[in-house]
Chains A and B, each alone.
Chain A
């Protein structure tokens, strides 16, 4: 199952969106995967939160791109222009 998923993401890299995939521990560490991801846009992450599988100017665009990349139920977030310690 895992191998199939990895294969899927590799295929996606060539076909649609360049997917950043990194190893993460179970502690919700998104710093590595988000550091290199696009800014000032909506991002869609895969269910394991190990890869950006979609982006867009709107949440809808990011979700559609994730769906096109084979991720049916992505987790979406808004990436700021600059990652800061405060949210405002």
Chain B
């Protein structure tokens, strides 16, 4: 599946790239499932720099998950400042309209986006290609067959 990047506003252009007034982000729409409940479609950032999949805690609460009873771990780099507690739970992620993957995902109160699709759970289930040769940039994902 190929999908154009999503263009988001930029309040303050980067001082080194002053002409850029918007940011192109690789994003997919996902639903999260847990115990027969499912979220609406959530705009999720595809981020190869993230070791895990993360969701804002509120996504877990929407699903009826007792977020803080998950496996606790402090993770830095996904929020500003000091490492924040993240609570891991097993969930299903419905990627666009095409695929379902079972993932151990972290839920964090201070996440600044709704969802991040990271290496463990997403990149180990999909071949992902970021193509910046076109305008807008394109994200291509394909399910890895031997995992299905």
Contacts and interface: CB of A to CB of B under 8 A. Distances in A.
B6 A58 contact: no
B62 interface: yes
Given A76-B43, A87-B45, A28 B5 contact: yes
Interface stretch (B9-17, B66-74, B99-107): B9-17
Between B7, B9, B29, B113, the greatest number of chain A beta carbons within 10 A of the residue's beta carbon is seen for B9
Interface stretch (B75-83, B86-94, B125-133, B140-148): B75-83
A87 B112 contact: yes
A77 B25 CA distance: 13
Interface in B5-46: 5-12, 14, 17, 20-23, 25, 27, 29, 39-43, 45
A27 B8 CA distance: 11
A75 B29 contact: yes
Contacts of B22: 29, 31
Contacts of B62: 58-60
Given A27-B136, A75-B42, A34 B113 contact: no
B58 interface: yes
29 contacts: A28-B27, A29-B7, A30-B9, A31-B7, A31-B9, A31-B22, A34-B8, A35-B9, A42-B58, A44-B40, A58-B58, A59-B56, A59-B62, A59-B114, A60-B62, A74-B41, A75-B29, A76-B42, A76-B114, A77-B114, A78-B111, A78-B114, A80-B113, A84-B12, A84-B23, A85-B20, A87-B45, A88-B77, A88-B80
